[in-house]
Amino acid sequence: MSSNTAGAWILIPSADELPARVNDEIGDVSERIGFVPNVARLLAVTPSHFVGWWRYFDELMRGPSGLTKTQREMIAVVVSAESGCPYCQIAHSAALRLRTKNPTLVDRLAVNYRQVQLDPSDRAVLDFAVKLTRTPEACEENDLVCLRQAGFTDEDILHIIEVTAIFNYNVRLATATGLFPNPEYHDLGRTSAA
């Protein structure tokens, strides 16, 4: 069942009023999760922007990579939490719960990833993503050396940077428009039925 709430501080189309270009791109995902994510409704205001953003975002999050899909979602959750973005934090916590089947881990990552016992490579990724989010001007070559020492290739490092960057973009998009999460996200991955 679709969420047909207002969704944001600006006028956005309802789930059944999406332009065809947007529906063509997001349709499979919406069918799989059972609702149209409010971010798709927001960006549907300018369908060409949605299509460009979605294709890049989808490739970053689900395309081939030296990063696992779990690591990519961990970046999403931690960057969103560090930036105080309810939409991104709730939506990507749901995605990470579905992926890990570990709601306790995800809740702890969303509250304070620093207090979670993590694999050293995951810790390196998240520490770098937070530094890039909070103090980008402090980034230096040694940060990349640390990522290489954690086992990441230069291609992986660029992917870490791109995922971090798109979530910094998404956070600003969501917070500036008052975008709020679909209610369905709250339960995803929390019960055995999910």
Residue 1: what pLDDT? 31
Give the C-alpha separation, 143 to 120, whole Å: 14
Q: Which pLDDT score is estimated for 166?
A: 98
pTM summary value: 0.94
Does the pLDDT value for residue 4 go beyond 90?
no
Residue 13 has pLDDT above 60, yes or no: yes
Task: Give the per-residue pLDDT at 74.
Answer: 98
What is the number of other CB atoms lying within 10 angstroms of the CB of residue 102? 14
Q: What is the pLDDT of residue 157?
A: 98
Q: What is the pLDDT of residues 149-182, one digit of tens each?
A: 999 999 999 999 999 999 999 999 999 999 999 9
pLDDT at 194: 41
Among residues 50, 98, 96, which one has the least CA distance to residue 72? 96
| CA-based nearest residue to 106, from 120, 89, 122 | 89
Looking at residue 82, its pLDDT comes to: 98
What band does 47 get if pLDDT is binned at 50, 70 and 90?
very high
pLDDT at 191 over 80: no
Q: Which residue stretches of 135-190 are H helix? A: 141-149, 154-177
Decide if pLDDT at 119 tops 60. yes
Encoded amino acid at 21, one letter: R
Please report how the helices 20-33 and 47-62 are oriented relative to each other, as an axis angle in degrees rounded to 10.
40
Tell me how many degrees the CA angle 17-91-14 measures, rounded to the nearest 5. 10
Q: Give residue 192's pLDDT band: very low, low, confident or very high (50, 70, 90).
A: low
Beta strands in the chain (DSSP E): none
In the prediction, which pLDDT does 5 show?
Answer: 55
Contact, 38 vs 179, CB < 8 A?
yes
Please state, in angstroms and rounded to a whole number, the distance separating the CA atoms of residues 17 and 93. 27
CA 112/CA 64 separation, integer angstroms: 29
- CA nearest neighbour of 180 among 32, 15, 41: 41
User: So what's the pLDDT on residue 6?
Assistant: 78
For 58-109, write each residue's pLDDT tens digit: 999 999 999 999 999 999 999 999 999 999 999 999 999 999 999 999 999 9
